Amino acid sequence: MVSDRAAPGSRARARHWPILWLLTGLMLVTGFHAKPSLATSFNIDSTRIGVVTIEPGQTYWERFGHNAILIDLGDGSEPLLYNFGMFDFDQPGFMGKFIAGQMRYRLTVEPYRRSLADYQALGRGATLQWLALDPDQRRELIAILQWNALPENVYYRYDYFLDNCSTRVRDALDHALGGRLQRQLIGRSRGLSYRFEAMRLGAEPLWMGLGMSLGLGPFAERPLSRWDEAFVPMRLREALREVTTADGSPLVLSEQSLLPHRLHETAVAAPRWWPRFLILGVALAVLIGRLHARPRALAWALGSFWLLTGLIGLGLAGLWLASDHRAAWGNENLLLFDPLALALLPIAWNLARRRTIGPWQQRLLLVILLLAGAAAFLKFLPFRFQDNIDWIVLMLPIHFAAWSATRKASKAHAVVVPAAV
C-alpha cells in the first residue's frame, strides 16, 4: 500500500469516487508520465545509486509514503528516479479492475529535480540513501531497471501488500546484491502485521481507516519479517540502515535529507477504537431497547440497521468470493455484517403495521444474532485470529437489542398476521 502521485487530473476526479473507501489503502501507488532514459553508454565507476524515500502526504493515496531508485551517472546529466507503478483513474476499466483486485501498474522514469519539486510543493519530506554497491552490482541493478522500463515489461500486477512500488525497489536491490538483502531481513521480526501497518498509516482520513479495518481479513494478521515490512517505504529505509555488505561494512554509505517534512508526523501505532465503539454500540442498543413500545420508530431504526448491515455484508462477501483481493478473503466481519440481514427487512414492515413476526422470521433473527456471537467466540480459538474486536463490541450489542426489541414488540400485538415471503 504505497503511494505517490496520481496521473495528471486524477486528484480532482478522485473526490467523486467514494466507493474507494472499502479497500483504498488498501490501493496506494505512484504516478508520472515522463519517459527519459539513461544514456546508452556510461562510466559505471562514476555512477552512484541511491534510494529516495518520500514521507506520507495528505491525500489518501499518499498516506503510505513512496520510494524510488535514483541513478546518477556522474557525468553532469540529469539524475533519474525509477518509480515502480502509476495509476490513472481515466485508464479503461480502472474501476472494475480495482474492485476485482486486478490492477495493473507500471514503472515510470522521472527527472530527479522535477520530481523532487513536486514533493516539495506538497510539503512532503524526502531522504536519500547512497548505497555501497560494487561496479558489478551497480551494473546489474541498472540492467534490471532498464529491462523493467521496456514497453513490454513496464506493467505489472499490483498488490498493495505483496507487490507494490516499495517491494519492487526492495526486490531489485536484493537481486543486484545476490539475495543478501533478503537473507539479512527474512529471519527477523518485530511482531508487526499488515493490519498494524495499514491502520497505523491509513487511519486518516477516517473513512479510509474504517474501510480498511472492516475490509481486511485474516491474511492481514500474519506476522511480518523485516523483509515483509518493506512494503512500507519508510520501513525499507530503516532496514537498509542495518544491512551490511559482504565485507561487513554498512550498505548505506551516507544518508541526507533532501526535503523537510512540513506535514503532520506519522503515527507510531495503529489506533484502538474499541472503547468508543463499545460505548456507541451499547448506547444504540439501549436506544433500540426503549423503542419496543413505539413500533413505527422501532421499525425505522431496525430497518435502517438491517439495510446497512446487509449491504455492507454483500460488499464483504463480494470481495471474498468475486475478487482477487486476498487480504479481504475469509473476513470474519461477515458474521457481524451478514447479508442475510436484508431478509429481515419485512420484519420492519410488520412492526410498522403492528403485526406479529412470523416464525421463520423469528428463527432467522435468532440465527443472525448467533452468527454475530460466533464472531466473538472465534476470539477464544487459537487457530483462528482476526483483529476485529472493534466491530464485535459495536455490532453485538445492537444485534442483541434488535432481537430482544423485536420479540417484545411482536408479543405486544394481539393479532398474528403471517408475513409474506
Secondary structure (3-state) at 50? strand
Q: Does residue 265 belong to any structural domain of this protein?
A: no
Structure confidence by residue, pLDDT tens digits, 358-374: 788 889 999 999 999 99
Least confident of 92-106, 330-344, 397-411: 92-106
For residues 93 and 156, membership in a common domain is answered with yes
Residue 396 domain boundaries? 274-411
Q: Which three cell numbers stand for residue 133?
A: 554497491
Long-range CB pairs of 180-186 (<8 Å, 24+ gap) are 180/243, 180/245, 180/246, 181/227, 181/239, 181/243, 182/227, 184/242, 184/243, 184/244, 185/225, 185/226, 185/227, 185/230, 185/239, 185/243, 186/225, 186/226, 186/227
Pairwise CA distance, residues 191 & 4, whole Å: 27
Pairwise CA distance, residues 320 & 53, whole Å: 33
Q: Does residue 286 belong to any structural domain of this protein?
A: yes
For residues 204 and 172, membership in a common domain is answered with yes
For residues 63 and 170, membership in a common domain is answered with yes
Q: Which three cell numbers stand for residue 153?
A: 515489461
Pairwise CA distance, residues 107 & 138, whole Å: 19
How much of the chain exceeds pLDDT 70, in percent?
Answer: 87
Q: Does residue 309 belong to any structural domain of this protein?
A: yes
Q: Does residue 372 belong to any structural domain of this protein?
A: yes
CA atoms within 13 A on the CB side of 77: 19
- Across the range 211-225, mean pLDDT stands at 95
Q: Does residue 2 belong to any structural domain of this protein?
A: no
Least confident of 18-32, 83-97, 123-137, 207-221: 18-32
Residue at grid coordinates 512532503:
124
Does position 150 have pLDDT exceeding 60, yes or no?
yes
Does position 223 have pLDDT exceeding 50, yes or no?
yes
For residues 179 and 98, membership in a common domain is answered with yes
Does position 41 have pLDDT exceeding 80, yes or no?
no
Handedness of CA 31, 36, 42, 48 (dihedral sign): negative
Q: Which three cell numbers stand for residue 233?
A: 517505504
Residue 4: its pLDDT value, please?
Answer: 58
For residues 191 and 285, membership in a common domain is answered with no
- The domain tally of the chain equals 2
CA atoms within 13 A on the CB side of 28: 34
For residues 124 and 67, membership in a common domain is answered with yes
* Rg of the chain taking only CA atoms, in angstroms: 26
Pairwise CA distance, residues 99 & 27, whole Å: 10
For residues 255 and 279, membership in a common domain is answered with no
Backbone phi and psi for residue 26, each to the nearest 5 degrees, phi listed first:
-75, -30
Pairwise CA distance, residues 213 & 365, whole Å: 26
Amino acid occupying residue 95: M
Q: Does residue 184 belong to any structural domain of this protein?
A: yes
Domain boundary among 195, 228, 259: 259
**Strands lying side by side in the sheet with 66-72:** 155-157, 104-111, 80-84, 66-72, 48-54, 126-131, 252-259
Does position 40 have pLDDT exceeding 90, yes or no?
no
For residues 221 and 305, membership in a common domain is answered with no
Residue 31: its pLDDT value, please?
Answer: 34
For the chain, helix, strand, coil in percent to 5 are 50, 15, 35
Domain boundary among 224, 259, 294: 259
Least confident of 82-86, 228-232, 242-246, 388-392: 82-86
Q: Does residue 255 belong to any structural domain of this protein?
A: yes
Does position 18 have pLDDT exceeding 70, yes or no?
no
Q: Does residue 266 belong to any structural domain of this protein?
A: no
Does position 9 have pLDDT exceeding 60, yes or no?
no
Residue at grid coordinates 562514476:
46
For residues 365 and 225, membership in a common domain is answered with no
For residues 254 and 279, membership in a common domain is answered with no
Does position 14 have pLDDT exceeding 60, yes or no?
no
Which of the pair, 91 or 166, is modelled with greater confidence?
Answer: 166
Q: Return the DSSP state at 150.
A: S
For residues 249 and 133, membership in a common domain is answered with yes
- Across the range 106-133, mean pLDDT stands at 94
